């Protein structure tokens, strides 16, 4: 994991992405529920592909961070293998795959004839990448000597599994709005968890009691935050579980509040089978330019004998 500054920036990027996706997906669904379909990205007013531009810049920054971090020496070497170097390169390679997907979406939107990438294929590719990220996070969690960092990576792997499942559902069922909203909420939850991980690992006031950072290890190196006693490890893991539960409740409240506010400001369009009949006081929506006075009265005398 990176330093606290990197964790905060990653958190801001993921929270912004999740909120943008959630708001636009909810607006699209409420505007036209019958013709709704999930989209890998939502066009901005101007420039149209601003979301993709920001994602590409963020991925490039994250790749550069991991590549620079891999050049640092790892004093916590497991045997003769520099684990820190290999895991940093693995993270950079995974981000590069996500970068290729973002560039493909950009090229497909700019030149559909050159790269006609359908939305279901884009979601399927995203599902595969999330699954790969989950596998790498689980492997890194198993190699950790720090109980706190192992827990943070384990939760990150679970979130990647959830994102992979939701992306696969959208690839098969693009009209499934709950899956689209849940995918946006998973981005939001990941952003909050990135912030929680950075605070619990690199911010001294937020490190659980009984745990501390190693003074001779640079911040961002795997295992730089350790817990001395087993009781301290269990307590730190329990605190992280509680923090994750609180973040989940917070994301759920944001999801419900966002839906309620958008539904109030932009109510869903209701389509009926019949238009309301005009009353005597309402104007005729289709006036006749040449009215016939003989047709202004309705003869009801023939109906006088048909009363029930």
pLDDT greater than 50 at residue 153 = yes
Which of 62-76, 85-99, 152-166 has the highest average model confidence (pLDDT)?
152-166
pTM of the model: 0.81
Integer Cα distance of 198 and 208 in angstroms: 13
Integer Cα distance of 178 and 26 in angstroms: 10
**Quick one: average pLDDT of 280-299?**
48
Q: Which residue has the higher pLDDT, 1 or 93?
A: 93
Domain ranges for the chain, please list them.
4-265
**Quick one: average pLDDT of 214-224?**
59
The per-residue pLDDT for 204 is 86
The per-residue pLDDT for 248 is 98
Range of lowest pLDDT (56-65, 135-144, 212-221):
212-221
Integer Cα distance of 303 and 112 in angstroms: 64
Range of lowest pLDDT (16-20, 137-141, 173-177):
137-141
CB atoms within 10 A of CB 71: 8
The per-residue pLDDT for 75 is 52
Average pLDDT, the chain: 84
Q: Which residue has the higher pLDDT, 68 or 9?
A: 9
Omega before 47 cis (within 30°)? yes
The per-residue pLDDT for 79 is 37
């Amino acid at each position: 994991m990176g330093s606290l500054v990197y964790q905060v920036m990653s958190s801001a990027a993921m929270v912004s992405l999740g909120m943008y996706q959630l708001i636009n997906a909810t607006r699209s669904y409420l505007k036209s529920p019958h013709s709704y379909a999930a989209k890998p990205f939502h066009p901005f007013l101007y420039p149209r592909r601003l979301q993709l531009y920001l994602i590409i810049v963020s991925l490039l920054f994250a790749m550069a961070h991991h590549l620079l971090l891999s050049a640092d020496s790892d004093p916590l070497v497991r045997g003769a293998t520099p684990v820190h170097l290999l895991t940093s390169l693995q993270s950079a390679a995974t981000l590069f795959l996500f970068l290729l997907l973002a560039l493909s979406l950009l090229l497909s939107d700019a030149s559909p004839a050159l790269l006609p990438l359908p939305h279901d294929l884009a979601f399927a590719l995203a599902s595969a990448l999330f699954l790969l990220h989950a596998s790498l996070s689980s492997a890194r969690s198993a190699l950790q000597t720090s109980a706190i960092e192992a827990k943070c990576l384990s939760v990150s792997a679970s979130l990647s599994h959830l994102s992979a499942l939701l992306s696969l559902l959208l690839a098969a069922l693009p009209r499934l709005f709950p899956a689209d909203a849940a995918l946006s909420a998973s981005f939001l939850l990941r952003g909050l968890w990135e912030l929680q991980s950075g605070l619990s690992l690199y911010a001294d006031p937020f490190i659980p009691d009984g745990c501390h950072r190693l003074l001779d290890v640079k911040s961002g190196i795997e295992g730089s935050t350790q817990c001395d006693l087993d009781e301290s490890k269990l307590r730190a893991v329990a605190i992280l579980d509680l923090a994750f539960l609180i973040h989940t409740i917070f994301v759920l409240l944001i999801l419900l509040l966002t839906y309620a506010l958008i539904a109030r400001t932009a109510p869903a369009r209701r389509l009926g089978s019949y238009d309301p009949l005009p009353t005597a006081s309402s104007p005729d929506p289709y006036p006749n330019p040449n009215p016939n006075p003989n047709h202004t009265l309705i003869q009801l005398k023939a109906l006088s004998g048909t009363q029930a």
